[in-house]
Amino acid sequence: MGISYENGARDLFNKGMTLVGKPMPELSIAEFGSQNAKHYNHEVAGMRRIQAHSGLTTWFGARHVSFDWNGKHGSIVLDLGRRIGGHKRRTRWMETFDIATNFGTIEHVENGQYWAFRNLHDLCRPGGYMLHVPPREGTCKGHGFWTYTTEWFEWLAQACSYDIMVLREFDLSQSWKRYKPGAVVYILVILGKSQSELLLTGGTDFVARKNWINPTLETNLPRRRSQPIHPI
């Protein structure tokens, strides 16, 4: 996905930093999916070309750890669909990050949606913020395994006692004319974490129902789902 103004992720990240209220050298960031930093380099005179978002933030002094299955840009190799640390209740990363980001990543985790969101929760410290930029249901055809809705994030926030700081849709046609209105729409989300305990469990409260296929989508895209996660 990458982080830029054009897809809304850059503004969302800046908002997250403002909410934390720390200067960059004191900031700690956990990132799901090693993201590229798009259109940053012209902003700082003499700055060397940096591809990774982690490279940019660490260049300014932040502590930044990326988690990705491919190890790109020095990220920690991890299957996000499984619990970080396995059976261990705590790891050295647990609740140590001011900001934990999911910029176009978790929708690619075919199995283990509960643990993907749980891992983000576990990495974020109480008083920190979780940032999401996933595709909205019915858009971004052929992209990832899952899509989401603003209503689902409202449910997630209520179920987990998160504070909703930002929750809105972002249509890429606003910034990129090559996209038709409604073709590519992301949900921009910032959730504040106030407590350590997660109120949801993987069995009864948080279920990824992969058999809920949206009949309006093309039949040659069998892995695209509608309303991927739902409380029961």
Give the residue among 110, 90, 26, 17 at the shortest CA–CA distance from 63: 26
pLDDT tens-digit profile of 102-157?
Answer: 998 898 888 888 889 989 999 999 999 999 999 888 888 878 888 888 988 998 89
Q: Give the per-residue pLDDT at 177.
A: 67
CA angle 177, 131, 31 (to 5 degrees): 100
Q: Which residue has the higher pLDDT, 79 or 45?
A: 79
Segment 179-185 mean pLDDT: 85
Give the residue among 225, 221, 220 at the shortest CA–CA distance from 210: 225
Give the residue among 45, 65, 46 at the shortest CA–CA distance from 55: 65
CATH number of 9-199: 3.40.50.150
| pTM for this predicted structure | 0.79
Q: Taking the domains of the chain in order of start, what are their residue ranges?
A: 9-199
